[in-house]
Structure 1
């Protein structure tokens, strides 16, 4: 399984590094069954995160001919509900270090990323995964209508507003779409991807190596509808 983690201007570093390290370790523990790299829609470049100017390097372009799984992180920046962000700030303009998170997520719509993600979502051979606000990138591009997904708890209403079925869960598995909730869910997402794609023994070995115990139940649209407590 080859994983491409997509960087965009203003990304959240932990959304990227947590699943990257887990998946990389999974590759080592499985004799190379998993490979992972950092990419961008534009190709090789230094990409500045939304956290103190910390930058990571995209080694190549998002390439759907090579990717089995595309992972989209969220953004970091000033915290604000979508309704609290001034309309003029949601528009275009110079990229600033001190911006609201919804603004940074919205800027992806002016790049090649949404078109590439649509192709990935339409390809039955590719799984798309997200961490935190990464699902909002898909939702704002109109790609999650009718799908089950999660995101940071502050963005669940926004997810619902785009036509997605927002689920308040740590990880949501909707087949070829797997989404993680808050920032640290990237660890749990990476481990779940290893369990699903490679097997529980490799996932458990990596879990032990990182001294991290996964949280929550992975939600799937299966089984009977629970009654109200």
Structure 2
């Protein structure tokens, strides 16, 4: 089986758990035997990215053309920070759209759904986000549902912050089988949520 590449794209003000939770799940899946390589990436070369709670994270490279792209949230309710700044800038949504167009499965955690919405990936689709962004997401013509995880095939969305762990576990199950996902959830002592879709 060919190795699957997953990239989690970081930006200034991203929420730590939105990115690090899925990263740990995917790394544990690789240790459990899944042919998977996961990287924390940025749009442009940079050494350190500062997250919303001041955690400083080292980038492992720049965004390429992964099989799976995960977009974290963070900072939607604050002007000029996090997701709000990224959406206003427009560069990351364009890059997400390009990855999708080239065949990547794209997933968001929390308010990262607003980046997917700005990339025009959620129009007419069921989608989840953090409650603070639900009205804004509806304004982008998404069908907002109150679920932890929404799987709409090539686009997935996760609700609040901790749901990123559920999202990653579901991706592991979907791509590499229930046995691997169960091994990872047991290793992490994590009780999984339900998936919509």
TM-score by length of 2: 0.92
Deviations 1:10-58 (A, max 9, x none): 000000110000000000101x51110100111342111111x211111
Q: 2:149 & 2:105 partners in 1: Cα distance? A: 15
Does the C-alpha gap of structure 1 residues 6 and 49 become closer, same or farther in structure 2, counting only changes over 3 Å?
Answer: same
Cα-Cα RMSD: 1.7
Does the 8 A contact of 2:43 with 2:62 survive in 1? Answer: yes
- Could you tell me whether the CA contact under 8 Å between 2:117 and 2:137 is conserved in 1? yes
8 A contact 1:70–1:128 mirrored in 2: yes
How far apart are residue 106 of structure 1 and its match? 2.2
Residues 186 and 54 of structure 1, relative CA distance in 2, 3 Å threshold: same
Check 1:102–1:182 CA distance in 2 against 1; reply closer, same or farther (3 A cut): farther
Mapped pair 1:140 → 2:118: yes
2:61 aligns with 60
Aligned positions, number:
193
Map 1:55-94 → 2, pairs under 5 A = 55-64=56-65, 67-76=66-75, 80=77
Structure 2 equivalent of residue 121 of structure 1: 100
Is 1:162 aligned to 2:136, yes or no?
no
1:93 maps to none
- Give me the whole-angstrom Cα distance separating, in 1, the residues matched to 2:68 and 2:46: 19
Measure, in 1, the Cα distance between the counterparts of 2:189 and 2:47.
Answer: 33
Displacement of 1:103 in angstroms is 4.5
CA contact (8 A) 1:27 1:34 kept: yes
Residue 8 (structure 1) aligned with residue 11 (structure 2): yes
SS, match of residue 128 in structure 1:
strand
Deviation at 1:143, TM superposition (A): 3.2
Q: Alignment partner of 1:61: what SS?
A: coil
Which sections of structure 1, spanning at least 5 residues, go unmatched? 81-99, 221-229
**Aligned equivalents of 2:80 and 2:124: distance in 1?**
22
Question: Is 1:187 equivalent to 2:143 in the alignment?
Answer: no
The TM-score, its normalising length taken from structure 1, stands at 0.79
Quick check: 2:75–2:83 contact (8 Å CA) kept in 1?
A: no
